[in-house]
Amino acid sequence: MGRQPLPPWDLATLLRDVPGRKTFGQPLASLTSIRIGGPADALVRVETLAALRCLHAVAHEHAIPLFVLGGGSNLLIRDGGIRGIVVRLHGTFRTYDIAPSAAGSAADEADVHVGVGYPLSRLALQLGRQGWSGLEFAYGIPGTLGGAMVMNAGTHLGDMRQVLVSARMLLRTGHVQELPASAVGLRYRSSSYPAGAVLLGAALRLQRGEPGHSEAMMQESYGRRQRTQPLSQPNTGSVFKNPPGTSAGHLIESRDLKGMRVGGAMISPIHANFIVNVGQATAADVATLMARVQESVQRAYHIALEPEVHVVGEEG
């Protein structure tokens, strides 16, 4: 199915009084880690909560879909692009501050209040160098805090469940609410935030540590990723979730699928659970390759591989 005709929205007019930089019909490929993605009807860069609320109200009033685009990792945007408004959160959404722990513990523990637009790996490194421990697992993970909160991002060192205290969000009603971590359903590479909520930020609880030790852990973890993952090539990250008791990469490699190619998309020879863009790949190329992998693994092992990558937008 191709890209649908434009609905009766005059986005340039509707968004005229919304603060922020706006572009229309801009391809999103350059904003994704795999360098694939069709155009957004409107792309709006938002700097403040007040501006986001204004944009949110316009979208709600006119029934315009709103999609928040973070770092663009773990994401495949189809070739037809995204209908409605795509939002990028900058400004106050890319800041953090450190406060004494709300749990009332001693000075060896703190709550870090972070905006969802903050790059996750940079946050881990900066806090580690300041002597705060707990986010070492996040170093080298691409994307922003918001994406990590949605995906419960993690590595062999841990995941967001270890540090998330609460999540702050803008609800469909336009109200801001803060929910405890226990209410957002974090589990393996998934979560259960309220439908339609736009994440604003989080409180993360960290412990006082040794900067040298934290940085050594992060560098060791990232070195391992560099050796075992195709980080130098455009990719989405892990394509499929690991089934219970095994890994998706092992299953795919056992089917001798490394190096399989459809158009400009290829299963990485370095790690079988990565699809890389080796030149002008389309989302359709990636989707076809994913389907072939799923079919091969299902036929051989009767295991249905579940995508970890989020696929959004319309077919070209």
Q: Which residues are catalytic?
A: 189, 238, 308
Q: Are strands 82-89 and 39-46 parallel, antiparallel or unpaired?
A: parallel
3-state secondary structure of 308: coil
Euclidean distance between CA atoms 20 and 88, whole angstroms: 10
Phi, psi (deg, nearest 5) at residue 150: -70, -45
Close Cβ partners of 135 (under 8 Å, ≥ 6 residues apart)? 123, 124, 127, 128, 163, 204, 206
CB-CB neighbours of 182 under 10 Å: 10
Strands (E) across 2-131 are located at: 21-27, 39-46, 66-68, 75-77, 82-89, 96-100, 109-115
Residue 137 is classified by DSSP as G
- Opening angle at CA 233, ends 190 and 68, nearest 5: 40
Euclidean distance between CA atoms 73 and 161, whole angstroms: 20
Alpha helices in the chain (DSSP H): 11-14, 49-61, 120-129, 145-151, 211-228, 248-254, 283-301
Residue 143 is classified by DSSP as S
Residue 17 is classified by DSSP as T
In a 13 Å sphere around the CA of 243, the CA atoms on its Cβ side amount to 15
Q: Which two tokens stand for residue 121?
A: 């790996």
116, 134, 114: which is closest to 124 by C-alpha?
Answer: 134
